[in-house]
C-alpha cells in the first residue's frame, strides 16, 4: 500500500503482486493528516474488496455485462450508507452547537437546521442512489457544504451568521472522526436499498413507462435478483477475507507525520516519477500539478529521477488556485474546466498571484467580460506557470506524463497539450491516466512492494553489515 | 538534542583573531588608525595593511547580522528608508545596521569609514551599495577600482595594465592621502609573501576533500575556513599560523578516518558527496547545515568559498610583481569569471572530488550569483550525467528561508541520489 498525504487530498492505493491497483481511497486532508491517512486507507480497503468481488464475478459479468452495472450501483449505495452515517453525526453536532449558542434566535436556528438537513439528506440520497454522485469523487464536506450553503442563502439574512457558525463548528470534528463499518452488513443494507430501486423500476416499466436508452438498466430490472444472489454468494467470503497489507510506504507533504519507519517514507518526487513511469514506461518528463505544489520531474529509462523542479512558494499555478477561483465564482471545482472550454477566447490574466487574480477577475466581470473567457484565461495562466517550471527543469522530453489532481481538468489538459506542442513539437506523446491523482500513492505502493523483496537500502545495508 | 562540540584549536585561534580585529576597530579613536570600507571579492587587503589601515567588510557584517538573527530588523529599517523588496539583502542589512547606529557583531560600534574603497568585481550592486554609503557618510573619499570582466575567459596584458594604472593613479594616491603614509612597495612585498604562503595552505586544506570520508565540509565549514583569508588577515603571520594549525588538524582527521566536524558533532557516515553552487543562507545557517548532516551529505567543494579568490588553477599572490599580482587577483575572483569558466571550475571540482551530486542554492536577492545558475546546472548535468538539485533561499532575509519547503526539496534530492547510488552499485 502507498499513502500519499498531500496538502489538499490524501490518497491511498493498494496494489497486487503485479503492481496493478486493486484499491483506491481518497479524502480531503484538511487539518488532520493522521485521520486523513486512516480514512484513505480504509476506503482503499473497501475499494479493494469491491475489486475482489468484481473479480470473483468475472465469469458471470462476461456473460451478463449488466451485472457490472449492478456492482457499480451496490458500490454507490454503499458509499451513500457511509455518507449517511457521517451526515447523521453532522446533524447531531449541528443541533448540539446550535443549542449551545448564546443568541436569542437559538430556537429558530435549531428549527432551521432541522429543516435544512431534512431537505438535503434525502436529496443527496437520491443523487447517490439514482444519480451519479458516487462516481464524482466528491468529499463529504463538499457534498454537504454546497447544499447547506444553498439552503442558508434562502433563509432570513439575520440568521445567516449563526447558521454558518454552527456549520463551521460542526463539520471539522465530524469529518475527522474515524468510523469503521462492518463491510458485509453495509453491503447487505445496500442490497436492500437496491431492491427498492429495481423493484420500483420494474413496476414503473410495467406501468408502461420507458426507461430510456439505458440498456443495462433495462436488462437489470428483469434479472437484478439473479445478480443480487450471485453477489450474496461471495459477499461473506470477501468480507471475511483478510486484506493483508504486506508493507506500506508514505509520501506527500504529511509523510513525516506517518508512524512509519524511515525506510517507508519516501519523497513525493520519487513516488510520482515511479508511479508515472510504471503506468507509462516510456515516460521521460512528468508534470504533476497538485493542490499546493507543482512539480516538473525528469526521469531516465529506468524511472529514476535525474532532476526535478518544484513550485512550492506560490499557489498561483497549483490546484488551490483553481479552488480559489471556483470559490470566487461560487461554482464547484468540477464545473470550472467544462465552462472554460466553452470560451471563444482567453482573457489575458496578468496576475501571478492567486489572491490578486481574484481581484482581477472581479474587475473583468465588472467590465462585462464573459465568464467562460475569464475562466479560460485563468486556466491558461496556470498552465503557463507550469510550462515555465518545466522549462526550468530541463524542458519536455518524449514521452510526457501529466499527473496530479489537476490533470482531471479538461481545460488544463487542452492548454498543456497546446503549449507542449508549441514549445516542444507536436510529436511529443502526452499521457494522462484516469488514476492520475493516485500516481504518488501508486509509486509509494510500488516502493513498498519492492521493499519486501529486500532491495530496500537499509535492509541491504543491514544485511551487508551482518555479513 | 545537540551535543556540545569540542572546539578545535584552530577554531579558538580564529575566534581570537576576529575578536582582535573588532577590538582594534572599536579603538581607532585611541590608536588613530584609519578605516577602509571595502568588499571581499577582489579585496585589496594587502594594500590596506601596507598603509596600516583597518578594513571593514559590509558583507561580513551583514552575514554576521544574519547569523545573529538581527538581519530581519535591519532589512526592515532599510526598506523604511526606501530600499525596495528586491534589493540585495546584504545591502539592506548593512544599510539598516548603519542607520541603527552601526553596532557591529561584537556589540561595539563600528568606526565610520575614512575611505570607501570600491573594488568592483562582477557585482553591479556593489556600485549602488557604495553610492548609498557615500550618502550615509558625506565627505568621505571614495576610491573605485574597476576590474574588467573576463568576458573572453582570459586576462590580457592590457587588462592588467588598466588595473595597475587604476591602482597607481586612483587607489594608492587616495590611500596615501587618507593614511598620511607614503606607499611602501617593499612593505607590500613582504605582506604578499605571507599571502602566498597562506594561500598554499588553504589550497591544501580544501584539497583534503579528495579523501573518503572527507575530513572537512567545504561549504558550511568552508565559510569559516575562508574567514581569516577574506576578512583582512591575508598577508599576516597570524593567518599563516592559523592555516598551518588547521591543516594539521585536517591531517589528523584523515589519519583517524574521521568525517567533518559539524555543530551537531562529527559526521558519522558519509553517504553523499556534493558540490554546491551559490552562497549559503545565513539566517538559518545551522538548521540549513543540519539538513545535510542528518542525511550524511558532505560538501566536497563549493563555489562560494572561492568568492574571495580562486586558487584552484595555481594563482598565488606574487611578491615580485606587487601591483600586477593584485590586479590579477581581483580579476580572478569567482564572480568576475564568465559562466563557461565557472562551469569548467565546477566540473573540475565535481570530477576531482568525486561528487555524487550537484546542488544549486539560488539566492533570491543576489543577481551576481543567481544569474546563469540554471544554465550552468544544465550544462554540468549534460556533461557529467550527474544528478542535480535546485533549492532557493536568501542571504540574510529571514522571510525567504522556508524551512519545510527546503527540507522537502532536499529530501527528494537525497532520495534521488540514494536511488542512483544503489542502482549503480548493482
Q: Do B415 and A267 touch (CB under 8 A)?
A: yes
Q: Does B377 lie in the same domain as B279?
A: yes
Cβ–Cβ gap B418/A308 under 8 Å:
no
- B390 interfaces chain A, CB cutoff of 8 Å: yes
Residues of B in contact with A450 (CB under 8 A): none
Q: Which chain B residues are closer than 8 Å to A269 by Cβ?
A: 412, 415-416
List, for residues A148-169, the tens digit of each pLDDT value. Answer: 988 888 888 888 888 888 888 8
Using only C-alpha atoms, chain B has a radius of gyration, in whole angstroms, of: 21
DSSP-derived 3-state class of residue B53 = coil
Strands laid side by side in the A294-299 sheet: A305-311, A294-299, A285-289, A400-403, A430-431
pLDDT digits (tens, 9 = 90+) for A388-399: 999 988 899 999
Q: Residues B79, B214: one domain?
A: no
Any domain includes B323: yes
Q: Which three cell numbers stand for residue A146?
A: 454546497
Confidence of residue A236 (pLDDT cuts 50, 70, 90): confident
Q: Are residues B156 and B278 in the same domain?
A: no
Q: What's the gap in Å between the CA of A190 and the closest CA on chain B?
A: 43
Contact by Cβ (8 Å): A230, A236: no
Q: Which residue in the set A268, A304, A394 is minimally distant from B419, CB to CB?
A: A304
**Partners of residue B391 in chain A, C-beta under 8 Å:** none
- Same domain (yes/no): B152, B240: no
Q: Give the one of A267, A394, A455 whose C-beta lies nearest to B412's C-beta.
A: A267
Q: For residue A273, what is the nearest residue in chain B, using CA coordinates?
A: B416
Distance CA A228, CA A71 (A): 9
The H or E element containing residue B54 is strand B54-56
Q: Do B284 and B169 belong together in one domain?
A: no
Mean pLDDT value of segment B166-180: 97
Residue B20 lies in a domain: yes
Is the pLDDT confidence value at A308 over 50? Answer: yes
- pLDDT (0 to 100) of residue A146: 83
Render the burial of A237-260: b for 16+ CB within 10 Å, e for the rest: ebbeeeeebebbbbbbbbbebbeb
Question: Are the Cβ atoms of A269 and B374 closer than 8 angstroms?
Answer: no
Residue B63 lies in a domain: yes
Distance (Å, rounded) from C-alpha A274 to C-alpha A304? 7
Q: Which residues pair with B144 in a beta bridge?
A: B118
Please report the pLDDT score of residue B369 as a whole number: 86
Name which residue leads in pLDDT, B240 or A135: B240
What is the domain extent for residue B37? 9-184
In this structure, the answer to whether residues B318 and B226 fall within a common structural domain is yes
Q: Which of B155, B184, B213 is the last residue of a domain?
A: B184
* Highest mean pLDDT out of A56-60, A404-408, B26-30: B26-30
Identify the closest residue of chain A to B372 by CA–CA distance. Answer: A392
The pLDDT confidence band at residue A202, using thresholds 50, 70 and 90, is: low
Within 8 A of B419 by CB-CB distance, chain A residues are 270, 304-305
Burial pattern A281-298, b for ≥16 Cβ within 10 A else e, equals eebbbbbbbbbbbbbbbb
User: Which residues of chain A does B412 touch, with a Cβ-Cβ cutoff of 8 Å?
Assistant: 267-270, 305, 308, 310
pLDDT value, residue A57: 80
B268 vs A contacts (CB less than 8 Å): none
- List Cα–Cα distances, A238 to A3, A44, A179, A225, in angstroms: 23, 14, 20, 20
Q: HSE of A182 in the Cβ direction (CA atoms, 13 Å)?
A: 5
B222 & B366 share domain: yes
% chain B with pLDDT above 90: 87
The secondary structure of B223-262 as a DSSP string is HHHTHHHHTT-TTSHHHHHHHHHHHHHHHHHHHHT---EE
Please tell me which residue of chain B has the smallest CA distance to A392.
B374
pLDDT digits (tens, 9 = 90+) for B94-135: 999 999 999 988 888 999 999 999 987 888 899 999 999 999
- Examine residue B356 and state whether it is found in any structural domain, yes or no: yes
Average pLDDT over chain A reads 83
The three grid cell numbers given for residue B362, joined into one nine-digit string: 539560488
Measured in angstroms, the CA of A452 and the nearest CA of chain B are apart by 16
Distance from CA of B415 to the nearest CA of A (A): 7
Is B415's CB within 8 Å of A266's CB? Answer: yes
Distance from CA of A298 to the nearest CA of B (A): 11
Decide if B419 and A270 are in contact by the 8 Å CB cutoff: yes
Weakest-pLDDT range from A71-80, A201-210, A224-233, B366-375: A201-210
pLDDT value at residue A218 = 64
3-state secondary structure of B39: coil
CB contact under 8 A, B388 and A310: no
The C-alpha of B422 sits at a distance from chain A's nearest C-alpha, in angstroms, of 7
Eight-state DSSP code of residue B8: P
Comparing alpha-carbon positions, the chain A residue that sits nearest to B409 is A310
Looking only at Cα atoms, what is the longest distance across chain A?
A: 79
Query: Is residue B408 less than 8 Å (CB to CB) from chain A?
Result: yes
Overall average pLDDT of the B191-209 stretch: 97
Shared domain check, B373 and B227: yes
The secondary structure element, H or E, covering residue B345 is helix B339-352
A439 Cβ contact partners less than 8 Å away, ≥ 6 residues apart: A271, A272, A275, A276, A279, A288, A403, A404, A433
Is the bond leading into A278 cis (omega within 30 degrees of zero)?
no
Q: Are the C-beta atoms of residues B174 and B153 closer than 8 Å to each other?
A: no
- The nearest CA of chain A is from the CA of B58 a distance in Å of 30
In this structure, is residue B32 part of a structural domain?
A: yes
The answer on pLDDT for B292 being more than 80 is yes
Q: Is the pLDDT of residue B203 over 90?
A: yes
Residues of chain B contacting residue A304, judged by C-beta atoms under 8 Å apart: 416, 419-420, 423
| Chain A partners within 8 Å of B386 (Cβ) | none
For residues B122 and B304, what is the distance between their CA atoms, to the nearest angstrom?
14
Averaged pLDDT for residues A296-317: 85
Determine the pLDDT at residue A209. Answer: 47
Shared-domain flag, residues B314 and B378: yes
Beta carbons of A310 and B416 less than 8 Å apart: no
Residues facing residue B359 across a β-bridge = B276, B389
Task: Flag if B402 and A460 touch (Cβ within 8 Å).
Answer: no
Q: How many angstroms separate the first and last alpha carbons of chain B?
A: 37
Rounded-to-integer distance, Cα B400 and Cα B312, Å: 32
Cβ distance A313 to B402 less than 8 Å, yes or no, reads: yes
| Domain boundary pick from B184, B204, B229 | B184
Q: Please, how many CA atoms are within 13 Å of residue B367, restricted to the half-sphere of its CB?
A: 9
Grid coordinates of A238: 470477501
Pairwise CB contact (< 8 Å): A457 & B422: yes
* Count of structural domains, chain B: 2
Helix axes B58-67, B71-80, angle to 10 degrees: 120
CATH number for the domain spanning B72: value is: 3.40.50.11890
Q: Long-range contacts for B185-193 (Cβ within 8 Å, ≥24 apart)?
A: B185/B322, B187/B50, B188/B46, B188/B47, B188/B50, B188/B322, B189/B319, B189/B320, B189/B322, B190/B319, B191/B46, B191/B49, B191/B50, B191/B235, B191/B236, B192/B46, B192/B235, B192/B317, B192/B318, B192/B319, B192/B322, B192/B325, B193/B319
| In a domain? residue B3 | no
Lowest mean pLDDT among A197-206, B164-173, B218-227: A197-206
Q: Do B419 and A306 touch (CB under 8 A)?
A: no
What backbone torsions phi and psi does residue B130 show, to the nearest 5 degrees?
A: -75, -25
Last residue within a domain, chosen from B184, B204, B239: B184
* Contact with chain A for residue B270, Cβ under 8 A: no
Q: Is B415–A313 a contact, with Cβ atoms under 8 angstroms apart?
A: no
Residue B354 lies in a domain: yes
The dihedrals phi and psi of B413, each to the nearest 5 degrees, come to -60, -45
Mean pLDDT of chain B: 93
Picking from B78, B88, B95, the residue whose alpha carbon sits closest to that of residue B364 is: B88
In the DSSP assignment, the letter for residue B103 is B
C-alpha B413/C-alpha B391 separation (Å) is: 10
Helix/strand/coil (H, E, C) string of B117-168?
A: EEEECCCCHHHHHHHHHHHHCCCCCEEEEECCCECCCCCCHHHHHHHHHHHH
**Distances from the Cα of B187 to the Cα of A370, B114, B170, angstroms:** 78, 22, 20
Specify the pLDDT at position A176: 79
Query: What is the C-alpha to C-alpha distance for residues B111 and B36, in angstroms, rounded to an integer?
Result: 10
pLDDT (0 to 100) of residue A60:
76
CATH number of domain containing B209:
3.40.50.11900
* Structural domains of chain A, ranges and CATH numbers in brackets: 1-56+248-280 (3.30.420.40), 58-245 (no CATH), 281-432 (3.30.420.40)
CB-CB neighbours of A276 under 10 Å: 31
CB contact under 8 A, B388 and A309: no
ipTM, two decimals = 0.78
Whether A466 has a pLDDT exceeding 60, the answer reads no
The helix (run of H) or strand (run of E) holding residue B222 is helix B222-225
Residues of A in contact with B390 (CB under 8 A): 307, 309, 392
Q: Which of A202-216, A301-315, B5-19, B343-357 has maximum average pLDDT?
A: B343-357
A28 in Cβ contact with A312 (< 8 Å): no
Is the same domain home to B247 and B320? yes
Residues of B in contact with A292 (CB under 8 A): none
Q: Are residues B164 and B250 in the same domain?
A: no
Question: Do B218 and B176 share a structural domain?
Answer: no
Identify all chain A residues contacting B416, using CB atoms and an 8 Å cutoff.
267, 269-270, 304-306, 308
Max CA-CA distance within chain B?
70
Asked whether residue B216 is domain-assigned, the answer is yes
Residue of A266, A303, A304, A388 to mutate when probing chain B, most B C-beta within 10 A: A304
A457 pLDDT tier (thresholds 50, 70, 90): very low
**Contact between B415 and A269 using a beta-carbon 8 Å cutoff:** yes
B29-53 tens-digit pLDDT: 999 999 999 999 989 999 999 999 9
Taking the C-alpha atoms of residue B330 and residue B307, their distance in angstroms, rounded to an integer, is 10
> Which pLDDT tens digit goes with each residue over B129-162?
999 999 999 999 999 999 999 999 999 999 999 9
Of A54-68, B60-74, B370-384, the least confident: A54-68
**Beta-carbon contacts of residue A161 (< 8 Å; ≥ 6 apart):** none
Amino acid at each position: 500500500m502507498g499513502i500519499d498525504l498531500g496538502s489538499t487530498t490524501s490518497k491511498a492505493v493498494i496494489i497486487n503482486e503485479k503492481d496493478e491497483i486493486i484499491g483506491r481511497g481518497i479524502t480531503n486532508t484538511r487539518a488532520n493528516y493522521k485521520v486523513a491517512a486512516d480514512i484513505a486507507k480504509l476506503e482503499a480497503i473497501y475499494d479493494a474488496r469491491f475489486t475482489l468481488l468484481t473479480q470473483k464475478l468475472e465469469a458471470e459479468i462476461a456473460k451478463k455485462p449488466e451485472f457490472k452495472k449492478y456492482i457499480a450501483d451496490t458500490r454507490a449505495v454503499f458509499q451513500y450508507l457511509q455518507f449517511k452515517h457521517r451526515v447523521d453525526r453532522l446533524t447531531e453536532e449541528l443541533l448540539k452547537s446550535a443549542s449551545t449558542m448564546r443568541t436569542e434566535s437559538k430556537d429558530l436556528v435549531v428549527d432551521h437546521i432541522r429543516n435544512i438537513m431534512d431537505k438535503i439528506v434525502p436529496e443527496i440520497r437520491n443523487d447517490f442512489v439514482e444519480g451519479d454522485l458516487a462516481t464524482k469523487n466528491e468529499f463529504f464536506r463538499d457534498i454537504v457544504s454546497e447544499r447547506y450553503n444553498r439552503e442558508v442563502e434562502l433563509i432570513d439574512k439575520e440568521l445567516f451568521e449563526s447558521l454558518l457558525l454552527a456549520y463551521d463548528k460542526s463539520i471539522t470534528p465530524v469529518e475527522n472522526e474515524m468510523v469503521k463499518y462492518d463491510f458485509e452488513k453495509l453491503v447487505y443494507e445496500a442490497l436492500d436499498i437496491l431492491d427498492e430501486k429495481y423493484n420500483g423500476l420494474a413496476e414503473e416499466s410495467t406501468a408502461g413507462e420507458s426507461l430510456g436508452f439505458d440498456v443495462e438498466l433495462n436488462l437489470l430490472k428483469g434479472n437484478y435478483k439473479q445478480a443480487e444472489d450471485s453477489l450474496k454468494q461471495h459477499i461473506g467470503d470477501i468480507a471475511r477475507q483478510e486484506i493483508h497489507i504486506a508493507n506500506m510506504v508514505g509520501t506527500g507533504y504529511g509523510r513525516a507525520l506517518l508512524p512509519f519507519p524511515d525506510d517507508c517514507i519516501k519523497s513525493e518526487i520519487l513516488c510520482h516519477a515511479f508511479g508515472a513511469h510504471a503506468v507509462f514506461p516510456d515516460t521521460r518528463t512528468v508534470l504533476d500539478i497538485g493542490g499546493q505544489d507543482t512539480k516538473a520531474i525528469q526521469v531516465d529509462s529506468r524511472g529514476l529521477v535525474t532532476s526535478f523542479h518544484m513550485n512550492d512558494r506560490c499557489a498561483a499555478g497549483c490546484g488551490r488556485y483553481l479552488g480559489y477561483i471556483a470559490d470566487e465564482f461560487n461554482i464547484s471545482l468540477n464545473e470550472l474546466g467544462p465552462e472554460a472550454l466553452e470560451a471563444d477566447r482567453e482573457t489575458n490574466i496578468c496576475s501571478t498571484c492567486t489572491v490578486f487574480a481574484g481581484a482581477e477577475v472581479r474587475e473583468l466581470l465588472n467590465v462585462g467580460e464573459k465568464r467562460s473567457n475569464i475562466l479560460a484565461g485563468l486556466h491558461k495562466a496556470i498552465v503557463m506557470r507550469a510550462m515555465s517550471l518545466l522549462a526550468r527543469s530541463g524542458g519536455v522530453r518524449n514521452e510526457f506524463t501529466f499527473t496530479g489532481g489537476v490533470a482531471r481538468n479538461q481545460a488544463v489538459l487542452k492548454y498543456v497539450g497546446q503549449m507542449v506542442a508549441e514549445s516542444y513539437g507536436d510529436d511529443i506523446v502526452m499521457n494522462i491516466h484516469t488514476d492520475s491523482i493516485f500516481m504518488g500513492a501508486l509509486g509509494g505502493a510500488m516502493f513498498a512492494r519492492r521493499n519486501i523483496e529486500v532491495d530496500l537500502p537499509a535492509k541491504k545495508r543491514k544485511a551487508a553489515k551482518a555479513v | 538534542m545537540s551535543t556540545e562540540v569540542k572546539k578545535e584549536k584552530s577554531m579558538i585561534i580564529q575566534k581570537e583573531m576576529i575578536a582582535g580585529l573588532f577590538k582594534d576597530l572599536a579603538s581607532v579613536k585611541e590608536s588613530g588608525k584609519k578605516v577602509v570600507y571595502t568588499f571581499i571579492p577582489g579585496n585589496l587587503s594587502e594594500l590596506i595593511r601596507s598603509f596600516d589601515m583597518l578594513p571593514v567588510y559590509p558583507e561580513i557584517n551583514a552575514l554576521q547580522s544574519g547569523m545573529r538573527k538581527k538581519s530581519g530588523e535591519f532589512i526592515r529599517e532599510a526598506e523604511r528608508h526606501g530600499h525596495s523588496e528586491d534589493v540585495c539583502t546584504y545591502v539592506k542589512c548593512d544599510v539598516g545596521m548603519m542607520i541603527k547606529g552601526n553596532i557591529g557583531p561584537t556589540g561595539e560600534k563600528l568606526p565610520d569609514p575614512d575611505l570607501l574603497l570600491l573594488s568592483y568585481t562582477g557585482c553591479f550592486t556593489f556600485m549602488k551599495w557604495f553610492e548609498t554609503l557615500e550618502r550615509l557618510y558625506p565627505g568621505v573619499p571614495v576610491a573605485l577600482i574597476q576590474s574588467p570582466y573576463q568576458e573572453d575567459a582570459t586576462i590580457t596584458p592590457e587588462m592588467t595594465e588598466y588595473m595597475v594604472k587604476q591602482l597607481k593613479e586612483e587607489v594608492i594616491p587616495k590611500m596615501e592621502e587618507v593614511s598620511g603614509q607614503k606607499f611602501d612597495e617593499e612593505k607590500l612585498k613582504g605582506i604578499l609573501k605571507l599571502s602566498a604562503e597562506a594561500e598554499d595552505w588553504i589550497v591544501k586544506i580544501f584539497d583534503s576533500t579528495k579523501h573518503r570520508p572527507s575530513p572537512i565540509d567545504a561549504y558550511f565549514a568552508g565559510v569559516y575556513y575562508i574567514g581569516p583569508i577574506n576578512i583582512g588577515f591575508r598577508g599576516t603571520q597570524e593567518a599563516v599560523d592559523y592555516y598551518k594549525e588547521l591543516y594539521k588538524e585536517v591531517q589528523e582527521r584523515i589519519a583517524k578516518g574521521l568525517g567533518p566536524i559539524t555543530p551537531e558533532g562529527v559526521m558519522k557516515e558519509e553517504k553523499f558527496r556534493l558540490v554546491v553552487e551559490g552562497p549559503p543562507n545565513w539566517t538559518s545557517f545551522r538548521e540549513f547545515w543540519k539538513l545535510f548532516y542528518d542525511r550524511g551529505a558532505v560538501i566536497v567543494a563549493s563555489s562560494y568559498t572561492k568568492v574571495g579568490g580562486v586558487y584552484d588553477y595555481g594563482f598565488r599572490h606574487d611578491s615580485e610583481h606587487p601591483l600586477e599580482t593584485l590586479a590579477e587577483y581581483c580579476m580572478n575572483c569567482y564572480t568576475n569569471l564568465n559562466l563557461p569558466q565557472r562551469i569548467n571550475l565546477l566540473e573540475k571540482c565535481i570530477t576531482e572530488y568525486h561528487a555524487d551530486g550537484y546542488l544549486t542554492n539560488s539566492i533570491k536577492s543576489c543577481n551576481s550569483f543567481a544569474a546563469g545558475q540554471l544554465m550552468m546546472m544544465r550544462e554540468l548535468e549534460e556533461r557529467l550525467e550527474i544528478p542535480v538539485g535546485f533549492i532557493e533561499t536568501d542571504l540574510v532575509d529571514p522571510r525567504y528561508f522556508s524551512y519545510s519547503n527546503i527540507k522537502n526539496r532536499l529530501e527528494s534530492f537525497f532520495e534521488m541520489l540514494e536511488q542512483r547510488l544503489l542502482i549503480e552499485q548493482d
